[in-house]
Amino acid sequence: MLMIILLGCCGMARSLTENKTRTALFVLVVFGLCSFFYLLGVWQRSGFGRGDSIAAVVNEQTKCLKLPNLNFETHHSASDLPNDTFSSQVKTFEPCDAEYTDYTPCEEQKRAMTFPRDHMIYRERHCPPENEKLYCLIPAPKGYVAPFPWPKSRDYVSYANVPHKSLTVEKAIQNWVHYEGNVFRFPGGGTQFPQGADKYIDQLASVIPITGGEVRTALDTGCGVASLGAYLLKKDVLTMSFAPKDNHEAQVQFALERGVPAYIGLLGSMKLSFPSRVFDMAHCSRCLIPWSGSNGMYMMEVDRVLRPGGYWVLSGPPIGWKIHYKGWQRTKDDLRSEQRKIEQFAELLCWKKISEKDGIAIWRKRLNDKSCPRKQDNSKVAKCELTSESDVWYKKMEACITPLPEVKSVSEVAGGELEPFPQRLNAVPPRIARGFVPGFSVQTYQEDNKLWQKHVNAYKKTNDLLDTGRYFYFRCNL
């Protein structure tokens, strides 16, 4: 027993000795580290170390500079603001009545009928006076559901989203749209291509280099439900389609619900809201535009928006009149005269007819004005006077020819030649490279490109649906 007690006392003495040793070692290590970092700081502050030089470089790179093109002064005064700007009360908008489900601002039928019929003025935009404007939220149709993702949306639209069946009856034999159960189905047909848009596009591609990247942008006038634009997308062609809001009320609504770019519009008395020389191809398939009238004004407007070397496609009356005049219920003389006028205006514009077959005629715009002296010297037709290529918003359309940029030879493309797609996506546009766009240079364009790439990447992190078919036209433009 005594031995056990002695052994225990010895163990306790040894443990106390070890603890004292560890404590001393810990204090020594802490003291050493503190001394090291203190001496390191003194060395760096002395100027012999690299700390000051690194800090100086960082400060130089990040310091704020006052650039000559930056102005931080306010550009508005309090007097410019509405009276209720500083009100703490948040303004809310109530839903409109259900009868306004299909309401389109500035496109009201009752108001439209009070305007002249000349040049389809009554079909153009006519906005209400201030006291008649609606300040409420347009309600969705009853039962509205999220649109189908692309490519299913190209072929199907929920009936609840566009509850209008009139086109399924009026255009039944033309394969525009069919009503099946609770959806509309779009077989891809049209008035001039009841067998489908794919076959029609193949016909065009036998003449026009649609698949080679030369044609990237197209304008479809009087588009119907925009099936041409929907199917041209398979060929990497982006089509802007438009049609008026007439008795076929839902045609543009169908196009948008399908995911195809379209807007309510027409060739009437106002210029198209596009800059000059922006489309590789323009198309009219029985679009009911009076091309032979108004001294060729509508063909001249198409000429304005077509790029040099661009294509104009016309199918339907009067093209193919020798075969179809009975079905169109028009006389041979009437149709012959109409086509003759169209041919004369095309010659005046120096368009070269490159094909007429199976009821489809195709013209090609000249590369420049130098290759067409009669276009420059013709005193019968005025030259359009635009302050800029974009000076077209709310401007009256005129029977005048828009001059092309000057060239040095007959083989040069006026305004510069564009790269084929997809190289065109990243190439600097010729009109910017040549200084035709005020305020833009090659450098600013490239910087803007990089900035938008950064923005799009940020959008993708915020909305993970951007790379799905839900926002198809957003995705295909990326």
E strand intervals along 141-273: 156-158, 178-180, 183-185, 217-221, 238-243, 262-264
Strand order in the sheet with 306-315: 262-264, 238-243, 217-221, 279-285, 306-315, 360-364, 352-357
pLDDT by residue for the chain (478 residues), tens digit each?
A: 434 433 344 444 444 455 556 676 766 776 777 777 666 665 555 544 444 454 454 345 444 444 444 444 555 555 555 565 555 678 889 999 999 998 998 998 889 999 999 999 999 999 999 999 999 999 999 999 999 998 999 999 999 999 988 888 877 777 889 999 899 999 888 778 878 899 999 999 999 999 889 999 999 998 888 999 999 999 999 999 999 987 666 789 999 999 999 999 999 999 999 999 999 999 999 999 999 999 999 999 999 999 999 999 999 999 999 998 998 999 999 999 999 999 999 999 999 999 999 999 999 999 999 888 765 566 678 888 877 788 898 899 999 999 999 999 999 999 999 999 999 988 999 999 998 888 889 999 999 999 998 998 898 888 877 777 666 655 544 5
Domain edges within the chain: 87-139, 152-407, 426-478
DSSP three-state, residue 285: strand
Place of tokens 């500079």: 65
Asked if residues 478 and 456 have their Cβ atoms less than 8 Å apart, the reply is yes
| pLDDT of amino acid 7 | 37
- Alpha-helix residue ranges (DSSP H) falling in 46-178: 51-62, 109-112, 152-155, 166-170
What local confidence, expressed as pLDDT, does residue 463 receive? Answer: 85
Residues whose CB falls within 8 Å of the CB of residue 269, separated by 6 or more in sequence, listed in order: 118, 119, 120, 121, 124, 396, 397
- Between vectors from CA 224 to CA 220 and to CA 228, what angle results, nearest 5°? 50
Nearest Cα residue to 253 out of 134, 187, 137, 166: 166
From the options 3.40.50.620, 3.30.465.10, 3.40.50.150, 3.40.50.2300, give the CATH code of 152-407: 3.40.50.150
Provide the Cα torsion 68, 71, 72, 74; round to 10°.
Answer: 160
With tokens 């003759």, the residue in question is 340
Q: Looking at residue 386, what is its pLDDT?
A: 75
Determine the Cα–Cα distance for residues 129 and 406; give it in Å rounded to an integer: 45
In the structure encoding, which two tokens stand for residue 231, read together?
């199917």
Helix, strand counts (H, E) of the chain = 15, 12
